[in-house]
Amino acid sequence: MNITAELVDYLAGLSRLEVQEGDRQAMTAELERILAYMDVLERLDTQGVEPMSHVFPVKNVLREDEVIPSQAREELLAGSPAPDGEAFLVPKTVE
Amino acid sequence: MTWETVIGLETHVELATKTKIFCGCTTQFGGAPNTHCCPVCTGMPGTLPVLNRRVLEFAVKAGLALNCSITRYGKFDRKNYFYPDLPKAYQISQLYLPIARDGAVPIHTDAGDKAIRIHELHMEEDAGKLVHDPWIDQTRADYNRCGVPLIEIVTEPDFRTADEVIAYLEQLKETLQYLGVSDCKMQEGSLRCDVNLSVRPLGSSELGTRTEMKNLSSFKAIARAIDYEARRQIERITEGKRVVQETRRWDENKDASYAMRSKEDAQDYRYFPEPDIPPIELSEAYLDGLRAGLPELAQAKRARYQADYGLPEYDCRMITSDKALAAFFEALVALGAPPKQGANWIMGEVLGALSARGLEPRDMKLTAPTLARLIALVSEGKLNRNTAVKVFEAVFDTDGDVDAYVKEHGLEQVNDDGLVREICAKVLAANPRSVADFRGGKDKAFGFLVGQVMRELKGKANPQAVNAILSQLLKG
Ligand SMILES: [Zn+2]
């Protein structure tokens, strides 16, 4: 797959990332290389092989519906750059 | 030209589990911001979500009750979008193998019976709440609702009128409440509905361009928004303009909808299989167990009430429209109340009192034994119906003691015919004008005389006895 500068900008937009001009070139090249690896995989003959979504042979991993105490709010907010004691603060997003 | 409106619904329903879908945090409504959160539901790196057994069970039950086929081998998918209501930057949902598909919901409107096809039902997690603070011009993120389990139920575009949409939602709400999988409280957001709507010339088989409407917080808002949007689209087309595919937000105060600013790329969710949740494989035994455990649903109750109690269809619909109300009715009948009388009290006084107080049946204090006692007192001739209604109002809010109230206020029906006869004679003597009117053919005068007798007896007389005695005296 051909990675263009436009595609990098599009992906950056979806992820709300601001990409500098110099970084964009480096990223384009890196993404090219990552996807080139897929081209290698694509050469394999997968005729008759069932598609797989999970690597480990486990299924139905479930837990009981039992309440366990939540995290203390101070601790939860401690890792946030701009808490106000109650909530995470983010730039204006509400329409 | 005659236009046809084509509507499909996407309904999100919060499941009534104790804990969130992938962690043990409580789902309780309310709570101070960010106090029902943990590293899993706030998407901290290195955490592993584990599916709540009851979420799976509730989703399968809902699928079965909506006549869907259940997906025996299913999985979750990751829906990527970057928005601060979801701290993981993705929502765990189901795209490729939803838990249930191809169902049908029978609905009943004035236009007749119809089945609404269910396209699919899938499990997913709810997002957090964002509140903008104009003082600091920043948005506060509260993740208490983040990770609360939802099922999303998607219909085919089978609706043609707002009436059909409301009938479907009422049926859906009723079914899910009976199953006990959701409380479906619209005002608390546990039932939310997006309306996809397009119009086309009647008779056309092609679908027009549709819009999606959000922020519909009541059945009334849904009906108004549908009428508004159909009119708006028809106007545009008639004026030679195109309908733009867009998401619109309903403004209940302005009674109008407006287009939400949406980026063209907003729909690019780049779904892929959710690697953190292993696949789900359901055995026939598991499904049989859930099938066997399904409770009697409203439709079956309606049929039973008609057959066993001879109640009219209208009564059956009213009583079974709410699970708590139906349970109340069944308790009344079990306590010996005649079914039709129980039904009349429920449809009249009980629903009236609830609506006057803005209460739901499940919040009612009045218990079945109290109303059953009141009904028995009327049957036994110890209270007349009008007085019983007054007693009902007095005991309704506190589930008060009927016998004590009647005794304290001296409300027992006067069954002393001698006394009734005496009062009737007195009233006739005091109202010669009305007596003459009645004899002159004015039937209204009779009602006035009955009223006078009832007043003298402080409303406690048996109205049938008063009627009989008055007629007799007037004839004589
Ligand atoms: Zn949690």
Helix axes B444-456, B432-439, angle to 10 degrees: 150
In a domain, B156, yes or no: yes
Domains contained in chain A, number: 1
pLDDT digit string, tens, across residues A30-50: 889 988 888 898 899 999 988
Q: Which residue(s) pair with B117 in the sheet?
A: B104
Mean pLDDT computed over every residue of chain B: 91
Kindly determine whether residue A54 and residue B275, on different chains, have CB atoms separated by under 8 Å: yes
Residues B280 and B325 in one domain: no
In a domain, B291, yes or no: no
Instruction: Examine the pLDDT at B458 and tell me if it is beyond 50.
Output: yes
> Residue B388: CB partners within 8 Å, gap ≥ 6?
B374, B375, B377, B378
Range of the domain at A27: 5-42
pLDDT value for B262: 58
Mean pLDDT for the stretch of residues B25-48: 94
- Count residue pairs from A and B with Cβ separation < 8 A: 129
Structure-block tokens of residue B456: 């003298």
Give the distance from residue B129's alpha carbon to the nearest chain A alpha carbon, in angstroms.
10
pLDDT digit string, tens, across residues B86-145: 999 999 999 999 999 999 999 989 988 999 999 999 999 999 999 888 888 889 999 999
Mean pLDDT computed over every residue of chain A: 87
**Which span out of A37-51, A78-92, B273-287 was modeled with the highest average pLDDT?**
B273-287
Instruction: Give A-chain residues touching B261 at CB under 8 angstroms.
Output: 95
pLDDT value for B32: 94
Kindly determine whether residue B260 and residue A95, on different chains, have CB atoms separated by under 8 Å: yes
Residues B51 and B29 in one domain: yes
Tell me how far the alpha carbon of residue B362 lies from the centroid of ligand 1, in angstroms.
29
CA–CA distance from B437 to each of B440, B445, B453, B468 (Å)?
5, 6, 17, 19
In a domain, A61, yes or no: no
> Which residue matches tokens 């829906």?
B79
Residue B195 is classified by DSSP as E
pLDDT digit string, tens, across residues B237-268: 999 999 988 889 888 888 888 887 654 445 68
Domain boundary (B251, B285, B319) is at: B285
Instruction: Give A-chain residues touching B17 at CB under 8 angstroms.
Output: 65
Residues B265 and B370 in one domain: no
pLDDT digit string, tens, across residues B295-343: 988 888 999 999 999 999 999 999 998 889 999 999 999 999 999 999 9
> Residue B1: CB partners within 8 Å, gap ≥ 6?
B201, B202
Instruction: Give A-chain residues touching B44 at CB under 8 angstroms.
Output: 79
Domain boundary (B285, B317, B332) is at: B285
Kindly determine whether residue A16 and residue B37, on different chains, have CB atoms separated by under 8 Å: no
Structure-block tokens of residue A85: 């004691």
pLDDT digit string, tens, across residues B47-76: 999 999 999 999 999 999 999 999 999 999
Query: For the whole prediction, is pTM greater than 0.90?
Result: no
Residues B46 and B158 in one domain: yes
Range of the domain at B190: 3-285
Angle at the Cα of B109 (from B307 to B170), degrees rounded to 5?
80
Q: Which residue(s) pair with A91 in the sheet?
A: B138
In a domain, A28, yes or no: yes
Please state the ipTM of this predicted complex: 0.86
**Domain at A36, CATH number:** 1.10.20
Mean pLDDT for the stretch of residues B23-45: 94
Q: Residue B173 carries which side chain, given as an amino acid letter?
A: K
Domains contained in chain B, number: 3
In a domain, A50, yes or no: no
Mean pLDDT for the stretch of residues B151-159: 97
Structure-block tokens of residue B131: 């509140």
Q: Which residues of A touch B (CB under 8 A)?
A: 10, 13-16, 53-54, 56, 58-68, 70-71, 73, 76-77, 79, 82, 84, 86-95
